Amino acid sequence: MVFESIVVELINRYLGDFVENLDRSQLKLGIWGGDVVLKNLDLKESALDELDLPVKIRAGHIANLTLKIPWKNLYTEPVVASIDGLYALGYPQYR
């Protein structure tokens, strides 16, 4: 579906710094309900780099990422992201 590939490209643009290899097979769209559900996402080791935290990610996984998108009111209502099943193995980063 063309719409799915457009949504995947947009999500890759905004989440690409945090997750590995997002593709259409991980995506479930509920267009009229406003939900975009992504399943089985792997975190990149560099996911926390921009936050300047003293922690690095060794490995990480997100079971479900749900984006509630108000398609009818995109300019007046927020997009809400919910994460279910976040697993991360981190280690301290010394400076």
Tens-digit pLDDT profile for residues 29-41: 665 566 888 888 9
How does strand 27-30 pair with strand 19-20?
unpaired
Number of neighbouring beta carbons within 10 Å of residue 7: 19
Q: How many domains does the chain have?
A: 1
**Chain segment 73-95, per-residue pLDDT in tens:** 878 989 888 999 999 999 998 76
The mean pLDDT of 44-52, rounded to a whole number, is 87
pTM for the model stands at 0.73
Domain ranges, residue 63: 2-92
